Copies of this chain bind each other. A is one copy, B any other.
């Protein structure tokens, strides 16, 4: 279960109800008209689970992902969270960046006779991903028309160049629906196929997401509307949204959130204004020793969302050891580390509220597939709502094209 608590201290926009209704209409229209496809992935992706399970994994111990951005961040977010609770999950190895040292290190970790290879690219021609794919073909002498045909998979848009490539070599192919953008694709084939193969409970993941989306459209998650309204109406003052996650394994989720939020909302709006909200992901308690000072005493341009995990399901007690001269820390003896980290979240929240910072809290009862699915859907819905309020196209990313053109021009010389 997820519990949502808003601790907002400032008054709302007096046009709030109208803004909310307009945004809700647009999001409902996106969903009903199938203009935007992620709303229906929890239902539409169910068939992928069986498809993935029908793949022969005899002797397979490793899933190799070649993908970057929306083609890796969501998989990594789920993987990091659920792995400690999924005994026997197969290793997933991620080839993302064009950094030669990382590629070299990763190549040395590939168990070439025990691996399935996934090349994931919505457009089909992502330069990092295709370059790495070439290196892997070359390095492991992959025979795409013979012995390795059954263990190289493409996940891409129908009709993309990568799709054509897969058909040419008769490789198994999974498609991302055209109406699902890369950063909203974690519950499409992009995430569901490799995560299922690795052994994660993707049925529950889809179930949790489906329940959040269904409940939202049934008016049972209206906190999403009031949060979206707060974020939108305070956007000029609180231009930075901090996600302060109190568990190390939430770090990849914060990176997924940063892409979703930053790339969806950072846009030129219909009037030609540069709008958007800047996402920052922090990890508690670590970043209490880093970024917290700035939130408390620096410019008042931030609000903060806390994520807490109520029950880590792993008890680990701080022993009753009293350290000579440091006895003042004895108050913590006998308590669990899970108690400590959550008490740190609560104390930090309280100190921020006392300093006048607007905050809200998301509490996960525990880390399980259903809760993780709900959390992903929650952030996708929130992004769509705030995008609707800003009046931007939440689902494109025109700003990054220029750099790609310059790269092509410079390297083609």
Contacts and interface: CB of A to CB of B under 8 A. Distances in A.
Nearest to A337: B100
Contacts of A255: 290
A301 to B, nearest CB: 6
A335 interface: yes
A305 to B, nearest CB: 16
B127 A329 contact: yes
A1 interface: no
B329 A125 contact: yes
Contact of A248 (B99, B258, B319): B99
Given A161-B326, A294-B276, A411-B332, A97 B398 contact: no
Given A124-B326, A276-B299, A259 B340 contact: no
B267 A403 contact: no
A127 B332 contact: yes
Contacts of A165: 323-326
A382 interface: no
- The main secondary structure of chain A at its interface with chain B is helix
A226 to B, nearest CB: 23
B408 A331 contact: yes
A290 B278 contact: no
Contact of A406 (B292, B298, B337, B347): B347
Nearest to A236: B299
Contacts of A73: 290
A100 B367 CA distance: 13
Contact of A399 (B240, B286, B297): B297
A343 to B, nearest CB: 5
Contacts of A321: 134, 137-138
